[in-house]
């Protein structure tokens, strides 16, 4: 049976979207990031067999990537720091490390982008 686990993070960042009518000036956001992994639970003899992934390992691995975005001017990392590009960057930097199934990147509280496997 396929099972999903998720962890949430909150970061603050600044960016400017070149030539955008509203976001063309430097400004900041608080972003919520939800990362999900998916897999089968095998029901074996160890606790590792009975989970998709350990939550502590998942949070630590994800934060190791996400921390590079926190309190940063994202124009130093991206030509166009849109929600789509940021979410794809997170997904791409985690896909070899965890069984990632999706990244949701909320820019503020009511707008988000989701990247799925």
Catalytic residue, candidates 8, 107, 113, 114? 107
Q: Annotated catalytic, 62?
A: no
Angstrom distances, CA of residue 16 to CA of 22, 23, 64: 10, 6, 25
Residue 23 bears catalytic tag: yes
Q: Annotated catalytic residue: which of 23, 29, 113, 114?
A: 23
Spatial contact of 52 and 3, defined as CB atoms under 8 Å apart: yes
Exactly one of 8, 57, 71, 84 is catalytic; which is it? 71
d(CA 70, CA 64): 11
Q: Token pair 């988000």 is at which residue?
A: 112
Instruction: Provide the annotated active-site residues.
Output: 23, 71, 107
């Amino acid at each position: 049976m396929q099972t999903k686990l998720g962890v949430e993070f909150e970061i603050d960042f600044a960016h400017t979207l070149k030539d955008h009518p509203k976001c063309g000036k430097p400004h900041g956001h608080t972003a919520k990031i939800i990362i999900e992994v998916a897999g089968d639970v095998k029901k074996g003899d160890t606790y590792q067999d009975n989970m998709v992934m350990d939550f502590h390992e998942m949070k630590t691995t994800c934060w190791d990537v996400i921390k590079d975005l926190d309190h940063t001017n994202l124009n130093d990392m991206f030509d166009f720091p849109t929600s789509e590009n940021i979410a794809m960057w997170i997904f791409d930097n985690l896909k070899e490390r965890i069984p990632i199934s999706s990244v949701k990147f909320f820019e503020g509280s009511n707008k988000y982008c989701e990247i799925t496997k």
